[in-house]
Amino acid sequence: MKLYCDPVSTTSRPVMLFIAETGLPVELVHVDLMNGEAASPAFLAVNPNGCVPFLVDGDFALGESSAILKYLADVADSPAYSADLKARARVNAAMDWFYTNFYQAFVLMAVYPNFGIPRGLGAAVAQGLAAYGEEHAHRWLQVLDRDMLGSGRYVCGDAITLADYVGSAFVTLGEAVDFDISAYPNIRAWVARMKARPCWDAVHAGFYGVLSALRSQARVTA
């Protein structure tokens, strides 16, 4: 199997962490988003959407990180995606919540506009989106802290599930803009648990390397 991915990508990192922890024999193929490789003819021939992550398993190809995680969890027979109908439905609901409500307010609005994503945003539009996102992201952070993490160590209870791989990647993206989560003790404890996992540092080395470079550049510019 091959996973086309970029360790800087918010949607690649959950899949990469899951692969590392399960030890699945998946070859990671780096698609450098910052250098435009996702739009290259070579990658578009693999995935016409030009998005990562993208999984190729023989003659089977699959996009969308949520679907990829579920597929790989079934391949690995992982307890992180329970075979129990109700438990699995709860994980599905939490993953959908992260990919919709949380992603829209926190990732797309509160964080990405600070880096000119999507490209072509004017400064005023970017600042407006970031301000709107920061204001409205707190609604979802409160739900995550109080209602989802308030009754267990992980998003869906006391055991890690696929929802934790997704959610932790999204929340830690806020570190790129020093998003303040000090008001959310359950989130902070959960993030600390995820960061303490044996494969976290290796998988996220590229992500934190880029953050370090961006911060150094900001200091020089200032």
pLDDT number for residue 217? 56
In this prediction, residue 222 carries a pLDDT of 30
Verify that 12 and 69 share a domain, yes or no: yes
Phi, psi of 54 (to 5 degrees): -145, 130
| Same-domain pairing of 22 and 48 | yes
| pLDDT given at position 219 | 39
What token pair was written down for 124?
Answer: 């005023």
The confidence score (pLDDT) of residue 220 equals 35
Same domain, residue pair 49 and 95: no
* CATH number, domain containing residue 33: 3.40.30.10
- How far is Cα 71 from Cα 87, in angstroms, rounded to an integer? 16
Q: List the domain range (segments joined by +) for residue 124.
A: 85-218
Confidence (pTM): 0.93
Residues 135 and 185 in one domain: yes
> Are residues 126 and 29 located together in one domain of the fold?
no
Strands across the sheet with 27-30, in order?
Answer: 27-30, 2-5, 54-57, 60-63
Q: Looking at the structure, tell me whether residues 32 and 102 fall in a common domain.
A: no
Closest listed residue to residue 191, CA positions, set 138, 154, 148, 222: 154
Closest to 28 in 3D by CA, of 222, 220, 206, 216: 206
Rg (Cα) of the chain, in Å, rounded? 17
Give the per-residue pLDDT at 3: 98
Among residues 49, 76, 103, which one ends one of the domains?
A: 76
- What are the distances in angstroms from CA 10 to CA 5, 135, 139? 10, 21, 21
Which pLDDT belongs to residue 93?
98
pLDDT digits (tens, 9 = 90+) for 3-35: 999 999 999 999 999 999 999 999 999 999 989
130 Cα distance to chain centroid: 19
Are 196 and 160 in contact by the 8 Å Cβ rule? The answer is no
- pLDDT on residue 116: 67
Q: pLDDT tens per residue, the chain (222 residues)?
A: 999 999 999 999 999 999 999 999 999 999 999 899 999 999 999 999 999 999 999 999 999 999 999 999 999 999 999 999 999 999 999 999 999 999 999 999 999 887 766 666 777 777 888 788 888 999 999 999 999 999 899 999 999 999 999 999 999 999 988 999 999 999 999 999 999 999 999 999 999 998 777 666 543 333
Block residue for tokens 């027979």: 77
Q: Cβ distance 164 to 154 under 8 Å?
A: yes
Residues 58 and 103 both lie in one domain = no
Find the CATH number of the domain harbouring 180: 1.20.1050.10
Pair 100, 184 in one domain: yes
Residues 54 and 159 reside in one and the same domain: no
Q: 17 with 114, same domain? A: no
Q: How many helices (H) and strands (E) does the chain have?
A: 9, 4
**Per-residue pLDDT at 45:** 97
Q: Please tell me the total count of domains within the chain.
A: 2
